[in-house]
């Protein structure tokens, strides 16, 4: 994503994350009612996050959940990935595993490594 180079050269990762979360909620018409964490993020916009959202909206019309996860993954510093052994499973693989594993709505699966929660 070319936009990420522009944003990371000017803004803090936390502000970029907040702006993208706000953008995702707004462009997907999501009504946040019970999730206190997401609610606190979208209600605490700053001048910086508003500026970032304007930049985002000039480059992107809408964003999927996969795109949002990709943004969050891109914001994790390489040093942190190395120190913590972080590895982000490609979307093709997560989709394949989910399709092969979830055979009905009654199936319960635990991913103890969790990560960003893509599964």
Contacts 24+ apart (CB under 8 A), 108-116: 115/86, 115/88, 115/89, 116/69, 116/72, 116/73, 116/88
Report if residue 83 sits inside a domain.
no
For position 59, what pLDDT does the model report? 92
pTM over 0.75: no
What confidence score (pLDDT) does residue 83 get?
78
Q: Report the number of distinct structural domains present in the chain.
A: 2
Q: Where are the alpha helices (DSSP H) in 75-118?
A: 78-84, 91-101
Helix, strand counts (H, E) of the chain: 7, 0
Q: Kindly state whether residues 11 and 67 are assigned to the same domain.
A: yes
Which one has a higher pLDDT value, 57 or 111? Answer: 57
Percent pLDDT > 70 in the chain is 91
Query: Is it the case that residue 45 has pLDDT exceeding 90?
Result: no
Average pLDDT, stretch 39-57? 90
10, 51 contact by CB (below 8 A): no
42: pLDDT confidence band, cut at 50, 70 and 90? confident
Residues 45 and 95 in one domain: no
- What is the reported pLDDT for 119? 58
Range of the domain at 95: 89-119
In a domain, 84, yes or no: no
């Amino acid at each position: 994503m070319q936009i990420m180079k522009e944003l990371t050269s000017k803004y803090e990762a936390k502000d970029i994350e907040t702006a993208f979360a706000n953008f995702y909620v707004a462009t997907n018409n999501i009504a946040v009612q019970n999730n206190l964490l997401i609610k606190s993020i979208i209600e605490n916009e700053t001048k910086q996050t508003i500026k970032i959202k304007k930049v985002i909206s000039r480059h992107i019309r809408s964003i999927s959940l996969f795109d949002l996860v990709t943004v969050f993954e891109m914001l994790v510093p390489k040093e942190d990935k190395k120190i913590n052994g972080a590895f982000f499973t490609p979307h093709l693989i997560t989709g394949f595993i989910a399709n092969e594993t979830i055979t009905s709505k009654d199936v319960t699966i635990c991913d103890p490594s969790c990560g960003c929660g893509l599964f």
